[in-house]
Amino acid sequence: MILVLIFLGILVLLVTIITLIIASTLHIQIKNLSVSNMEPKNTNEYAIIFSLYLGNKIKWIWFRLNDKKVRKMYSKMQLEKLDFKKFRKDFKVKDLKELPKLQPKISYLNLDANLGVISPVTTSFLVATIASIISIALPYLAKSLKKERYIYNIKPLYYNKNLYKINLNCIIEIKMVHIINIIFVLIKKGRKKNEQSTTSNRKPYAYSYE
């Protein structure tokens, strides 16, 4: 009887956790991310915070990544020698078509980018193109109607060199139900690919008569 109660308790706990995850929204907050090849390495600590919110109000799970943790993860990946060839084989470019189904929303954006290449003409074209893409995509991705929550400056650097300096602060929100749905779709596609490859590798045997 006690074992049954323990099993039921574990089952209820698992169902509750799964339900909470499905009903949650993933917040990805990028704080003080600075990338540049124009000056010595920035000593400011950046952070990438992953949080799960219920109703976009109650934060119940969170995980914080900083420069030190990212370095540890990178060194661990090198030690374990991850099979990137297998990853490239399993992941196809056409799988990117599933990404819009995530329906991501940007609730905050503060982007300051300075870009330059060897050709001044190319620099002007690059800056104008990036700024245009952001201005076109932002109305579809923005969660809030408050313009003060979305600031971006893309500036050209005319030094006849390949230069960049980017500072980013933003918050991206994705509903977990959309993430789970995409995972299931990709897993299903992966199984179909494996079944097709297995079928194609079978050798046909002709009937023989003695």
pLDDT above 90 (res 203): no
Q: What is the pLDDT of residues 33-43, one digit of tens each?
A: 999 998 766 55
**154, two tokens:** 């893309």
pLDDT above 90 (res 188): no
Helical axes 2-22 vs 176-200, angle rounded to 10°: 100
Q: What is the pLDDT of residue 1?
A: 76
What is the Cβ-side half-sphere exposure of residue 39, based on CA atoms within 13 angstroms? 7
Q: What is the pLDDT of residues 144-181, one digit of tens each?
A: 878 889 999 999 999 989 999 999 999 999 999 999 99
